Structure 1
């Protein structure tokens, strides 16, 4: 505990990270790991407003809201370093991946009710089990498997996309997840060395920021692909010349 500050939340019961605890406040265990979730919330709100304003399918509104819930769960976890809050961060991570799987694979799924039913039950059972059992490596392996299940479909969408700007969204998605993974691994594997540096680069905080952009790019790319499937004439435009989003033009009959 840094600077003699007492902890409001009590002893650490969750996985701890490389950032020193309670440096800036006795109410926030990991300050930078907490506030670094804010960009994810802001980007998800932008995506949600765009999805609602242009009346995209509800699945995308739910997807953006799941990003917000995940970021809030992460903030609670890193600010308290308690086991319950860690589970409140990890369970939405799995739910979000199940939602991605649904969005990616449902267009070609012939039995429409079976996939959402199975994914809902899977998510509910996982939440119960995760509340009772404390996973370590098992959770990471499980989450990685869910991520890997998305890759073939994302690649299929990429190779069938001819729009240059949309392809750039996919490339930005890959670049941010690669850089974020490097930050996460560096923070986890070389914490002892990093802690001796004069300046801690806060690799886990950078992971949060980069994954916020990663989720936004992924969501935007999927919105473009789905709009193209539905014949909504999508195009990628940029807000303030920087942030990409999808603009659609639905047929008048819709």
Structure 2
């Protein structure tokens, strides 16, 4: 948990169920956890270049989706650590679940006919994502994310 002396900043009081060990608003009034926020640039910028390069190289859409998923995870994490709001926590954690499903799809599709779609696997992963999202929105406990994301 963050130190008890944390101050309130631009985004108001913390509403997230998690608050990391960084002192809140210690670097700037606009960013709750400055270093956690800035460190997300590595999850935003390189994957964007990867997606562009995948398009240029004519790779399958699943590779582009993987790069874009990493970008969305980075942006969600940026928003969460910047604000420490519960809504932004969802924007951080739920894309992690969705991107893991994309990665699982890619992993199972490594040795297949090019440009085909495995609709059974796709349906299963979408159903899993919907179930996890529904439970996550009902339970509102950080342990659920920690268990499902590992």
Q: How many residues align?
A: 144
Q: Note if 1:140 corresponds to 2:142.
A: no
Partner of 1:71: 74
> Take 1:5 and 1:16, find their aligned partners in 2: how far apart are those partners?
13
Check conservation: 1:2, 1:22, Cα contact below 8 A: no
Q: TM-score, normalization: structure 2?
A: 0.85
> Take 2:80 and 2:68, find their aligned partners in 1: how far apart are those partners?
18
- Provide, for residues 177-224 of structure 1, a one-character-per-residue CA deviation record: whole Å limited to 9, x for no partner: xxxxxxxxxxxxxxxxxxxxxxxxxxxxxxxxxxxxxxxxxxxxxxxx
- Which entry has the higher C-alpha Rg, 1 or 2? 1
Pair 138,131 (structure 1): closer, same or farther in 2 beyond 3 Å: closer
Check conservation: 1:106, 1:115, Cα contact below 8 A: no
Q: How many Å apart are 1:49 and its aligned residue?
A: 1.6
Check conservation: 1:44, 1:67, Cα contact below 8 A: yes
- Provide, for residues 7-38 of structure 1, a one-character-per-residue CA deviation record: whole Å limited to 9, x for no partner: 22222222011111011222210011111111
Partner of 1:94: 97
> Take 1:44 and 1:79, find their aligned partners in 2: how far apart are those partners?
20
Partner of 1:207: none
Q: TM-score, normalization: structure 1?
A: 0.52
Check conservation: 1:8, 1:26, Cα contact below 8 A: yes
Check conservation: 2:7, 2:24, Cα contact below 8 A: no
Alignment RMSD: 2.4
| Alignment map for 1:62-211 (pairs within 5 Å) | 62-107=65-110, 112-144=118-150
> Take 1:141 and 1:129, find their aligned partners in 2: how far apart are those partners?
13
Match of 1:16, SS state, is: coil
Q: How many Å apart are 1:97 and its aligned residue?
A: 0.7
| Alignment map for 1:4-23 (pairs within 5 Å) | 6-14=8-16, 15-23=18-26
Match of 2:44, SS state, is: helix
Check conservation: 1:44, 1:68, Cα contact below 8 A: yes
> Take 1:99 and 1:4, find their aligned partners in 2: how far apart are those partners?
37
> Take 2:8 and 2:81, find their aligned partners in 1: how far apart are those partners?
16
| Alignment map for 1:216-231 (pairs within 5 Å) | none
Q: How many Å apart are 1:107 and its aligned residue?
A: 4.4
- Provide, for residues 81-113 of structure 1, a one-character-per-residue CA deviation record: whole Å limited to 9, x for no partner: 111211111100011111111111134589921
Pair 64,31 (structure 1): closer, same or farther in 2 beyond 3 Å: same
Query: Would you tell me which structure has more helix in proportion to its own residues?
Result: 1
